[in-house]
Homo-oligomer: A and B are copies of this chain.
Amino acid sequence: MNSNPANPANPNGQGAAGEGVSAVSPAASPTFSPLYQQIKGLITQSLESGEWKPGEIIPSEVELAARFKVSQGTVRKAIDELAADNLLVRRQGKGTFVATHNEERAQFRFLRLLADDGAEHPHVSRLLECRRLRASAEIARQLDLKPADPVVLIKRLLQFDGEVTVLDEIWLPGAVFRGLTLERLSEYQGPLYAMFETEFGTRMIRATEKIRAVAAEPSVAELLHVPGGFPLLSVERVSYTYGDRPVEVRRGWYVTTGYYYQNELS
C-alpha cells in the first residue's frame, strides 16, 4: 500500500481533467500502488468483514465511487478485477453481487471429474465419518496450525450415477469449524463449500492441487470397490479463503475408469 488507505484524497494524484485538485507528485513514490488497487483492497475488506455477505448485492458503482471519493471508472476497474478473481459477480441491469457457492450454476469449478460420455451424471455424497482429533505435523503445516491443534476429519464417498467413484478425506481447522458434527453434515444437502460458507462463514476462494497416480491400498480399495493395487488418481487439495489463508486440506482418490479429470491449459 501507498498512503491514504481509508479515505483517499488522491495520493498519487493525477488530478481530474480540468480541475486543480491535488497538485502533488512528491518524490515519485517508490512503492507505487494505483488507486484502483487500493479500492480493491477496501472492497475486499468489506467482503472479509461480512459487511456484504455471499449472495447479497453490493452498493452500485456510483455509490462506491462517492464513498471512496474516486471516479466511477476507478471503482469499475477494481470491481472488474474482483469479478475476474471470482469474488464478485456482475449482472447487467441488476447490480454486483458477492459470489457464493450456494446458487452457482455449476460446482464444476472445484469438482472436475467428468464422465467419458460427457453426460450429466449426478453425484451423491455418502458420509463415512466425522471426528475431531489433533493435527499431524503434516496437516498442521498445510493448514498453518501448530502441531496437535484440533482439527476435524471428514471421510466420505462420492457416487456418480450410483457408482462409487471418489473417496475424500477432508481436514478442517477445529477452531473455525466448531460444532461441525456428522449429524449436522448429514442434515445439510448440497455442496460442502456451500455449507462451510453459510454455516461457518468461511468462503473458499481458490485452491491448489497436486495430482498423482497411485496404487490403491487395501482399505481404500475396499471402499472404492476396486482390487488392491488398482491405479487411482490421488488429488491433494489445499483450499484458501480471504487473505490466502489455508482452511481445508482434502485428499481424494478417484477411480478413473469411465471418468476423467478435466483440465484447461491457457
Contacts and interface: CB of A to CB of B under 8 A. Distances in A.
Given A229-B229, A232-B231, A265 B212 contact: no
Most buried by B among A209, A211, A261: A211
A206 to B, nearest CB: 4
A244 to B, nearest CB: 12
5 contacts: A211-B211, A211-B233, A211-B261, A215-B231, A237-B265
A260 interface: yes
> For the complex, would chain A's binding face be called helix, strand, loop or mixed by DSSP majority?
strand
B213 A266 contact: no
Contacts of A234: 213
Taken together, the copies of this chain in the complex come to 2
A207 interface: yes
A4 B61 CA distance: 32
A63 B239 CA distance: 45
Contacts of A266: 85-86, 205-207
A265 B206 contact: yes
A253 B208 CA distance: 22
A260 B109 contact: no
Which A-B residue pairs are the 8 nearest by beta carbons? A231-B231, A212-B256, A213-B213, A213-B231, A211-B261, A206-B266, A210-B260, A207-B265
Nearest to A113: B211
A212 to B, nearest CB: 4
B109 A210 contact: no
B109 A265 contact: yes
Nearest to A215: B231
Contacts of A261: 210-212
Given A229-B229, A232-B231, A213 B263 contact: no
Interface string A186-223: 00000000000000000001111111111100000000
A254 B213 contact: yes
A29 to B, nearest CB: 16
A214 B213 contact: yes
A120 interface: no
